[in-house]
Amino acid sequence: MLSVVMLAAFAFALFQSLLNPVLPALQENLQTTPTLVAWTMTAFLLSASVATPVLGRLGDRHGKDRVLVASLLALAVGSVISALAPGIGLMIVGRVVQGVGGGVLPLVFGIIRDEIAPSKVPAAIGTASALTAVGGGAGIVLAGPLTELFGIRSLFWIPAALALATAAAAVTAVPPSRSRNPVPVSWSATLLLATWLVALLVPLSQASRWGWTSAAVLVPLTAAALLACIWVRLESRSARPLVDMTMMRDTAVWTTNIVSLLFGIGLFAVMTFLPVFLQTPPSAGYGFGVSVTQAGLLLAPMTITMFGAGLVASPLEHRLGARAVLVAASAINVAAMAMLAFGHDSRWQVLASLVLLGIAIGIGFSTMSNVIVAAVRPEQTGVANGVTANLRTVGGSLGVAAMTAILGSHSAADGLPAESGYTYSFAALALAGVAAIVVAVRLPARSAQHRER
């Protein structure tokens, strides 16, 4: 059972990052524009952002095992649609269906909590979190070689086969959920959540094209802020909330969620833009002129250290406490971003930064997942982890948007970003890491334990 849910976590994380390095090749394959091909990423992001907390909540109510299988099938169906898509329109539809699989992550954590002995939960959560981080890194590493060997459409066929195999294994290996939340899902709250998330994430993802001061960006962002406030107010008063606001006000929960958002800012921005930096020809004054495949291989040390760090996170947390470990991970994250900002002239400098970042992400993600699982009741595990994962995605959107804006404002004569743009961008990501330290200090030294069944 445990190996199946671990594979499910890895598979979804792989889906998240597999297309990032090869968007130009996908654009050529579909004979479309850069603006439209970017919607393959935006559509997946929007769909996953809405689906992640909702499916976590559905799993808490109807059974995490059933909803996990449904999420994996959505990943497979969406992949097949995208693989067969003759044009960009159907490709985007497939990516939307894929995003529904975002419920995999909170469901995996909930199943682990339901089925593993309490004493083994932290280690299992740590391993699952580590595999999630590894999956994201593996997508960057594998995208180039898979495209060169089997073509761009293999980036959909191979994940489809992986998702189907994992779903089939989950049907037989994952037992029915022991803990259930009998309260019905509020679909009005779900619709309102989807509305404000779309109003937030679409302008963030398109701001560099539409202009930060344009009405197309400012109006939906303002609407998103207002709708989010209304949603929180309604959820606080609801007898059957989609997300329990009492749970969200728990110190261990809200501090972890903010740190998750701040970590997402750095991770997604680095995953998106560092391969571009590495592929830039040295004639621009920076970069190494490597291929997509070589850029992915340069990111491999980060993936390896993510996994190793995730495995040691649980023993460190047991020994030092979650607060100390999360503060340390945040500090290592700051060091990694500062090194990228001010020392990126040689490959060894970039590799050293990525090793540090891998350690920070591996330890940080594992610790955050364990804090959430320990702080909430068993029947809240799915939705609580869904919110945490969702905020990390929102943070990623903020990070990518901010870095896009900074790079766009520091352009060289040849149209490439100036080196100063990368320096300022990575420095800004380091500041987000400093904010994570400030918030992580507020985490209770020993959060309340709710792992009893």
How many angstroms separate the CA atoms of 326 and 365, rounded? 9
pLDDT digits (tens, 9 = 90+) for 259-273: 999 999 998 889 888
Residue 411, strand partner residues: 417
First vs last Cα of the chain: how many Å apart? Answer: 19
- The string of DSSP letters for 1-26 reads -HHHHHHHHHHHHHHHHSSGGGHHHH
Question: Distances from the Cα of 210 to the Cαs of 3, 35, 132, 257, in angstroms?
Answer: 45, 11, 33, 30
Tell me: pLDDT of 446 over 80.
no
User: Residue-wise over 364-399: b if at least 16 C-beta within 10 A, else e?
Assistant: bbbbbbbbbbbbbebbbbbbbbbbbbbbbbbbbbbb
pLDDT per position as a tens digit, 320-364: 999 999 999 999 999 999 999 999 999 999 999 999 999 999 999
Structure confidence at residue 451 (pLDDT) = 44
pLDDT tens per residue across span 169-183: 999 998 887 766 676
Cβ atoms within 10 Å, residue 453: 10
Backbone angles phi, psi at 286, to 5 degrees: -160, 180
Structure tokens at 157: 């066929």
Mean pLDDT of 174-201: 82
SS3 at position 249: coil
| pLDDT confidence tier of residue 211, bands split at 50, 70 and 90 | confident
C-beta separation of 216 from 210 below 8 A: yes
> Each residue of 367-400: pLDDT tens digit?
998 899 888 887 778 778 888 888 888 888 888 8
209 CB-contact burial (10 Å; exposed 0-12 / middle 13-18 / buried 19+): middle
pLDDT at 424 over 90: yes
pLDDT (tens digit per residue) in 276-319: 899 899 988 899 999 888 888 888 888 889 888 988 888 898 88
- Rg of the Cα atoms in the chain: 21
**Which has the higher per-residue pLDDT, 77 or 20?**
77
pLDDT digits (tens, 9 = 90+) for 231-261: 999 989 887 788 888 889 999 999 999 999 9
Asked if 416 and 280 touch (Cβ cutoff 8 Å), the reply is yes
Tens digits of residue pLDDT in 147-160? 888 999 999 999 89
Task: For the chain, give the percent of residues with pLDDT over 70.
Answer: 97
Please name the residue that has the structure tokens 């200090």. 441
Give the residue with greater pLDDT, 188 vs 183.
188
Residue 134 CA to residue 140 CA, distance in Å, equals: 10
pLDDT at res. 6: 86
pLDDT level of residue 189 (50, 70, 90 thresholds): confident
Using alpha carbons, list the distances in angstroms from residue 187 to 58, 117, 125, 244: 11, 34, 30, 14
Backbone angles phi, psi at 85, to 5 degrees: -60, 125
| pLDDT in the model for residue 453 | 40
Q: Which residues pair with 417 in a beta bridge?
A: 411
Integer CA distances (angstroms), 305 to 105, 115, 134, 322, in order: 21, 28, 9, 20
Q: Which two tokens stand for residue 90?
A: 């159907």
Q: With contact defined as beta carbons under 8 Å apart, do 373 and 392 qualify?
A: no
